[in-house]
Structure 1
Amino acid sequence: MHITCTPPCKFEFCWLCLGAWSDHGERTGGFYACNRYEAAKQEGVYDDTEKRREMAKNSLERYTHFYERWATNQSSRQKALADLQQMQNIHLEKLSDKQCQPESQLKFITEAWLQIVECRRVLKWTYAYGYYLPAHEHAKRQLFEYLQGEAESGLERLHQCAEKELYSYLNVDGPSKDFNEFRMKLAGLTR
Structure 2
Amino acid sequence: MASRDNNLRTECFRGPVSSVSSEGLSKRTHSRRPPIRMPIDRRRLLQAIAILGAICAYTTIVLGGTVRGMGAGLACPDWPLCNGHVVPDLGDPLVAVEYAHRLVAALTTLFLLGTFAVSVLWFRPDLRLVAFSLTSVGFLVAQVGLGALTITSSLDWVIVTMHLALGTATFASSLLVAFLALRPSSPDLLYRPTAE
Instruction: State TM-score, norm by structure 2.
Output: 0.39
Instruction: State TM-score, norm by structure 1.
Output: 0.40
User: Which has more helix, going by share of residues?
Assistant: 1
Whichever of the two has the greater Rg, that structure is 1
User: Which has more strand, going by share of residues?
Assistant: 2
Higher relative contact order (CA 8 A, sep 6+): 2
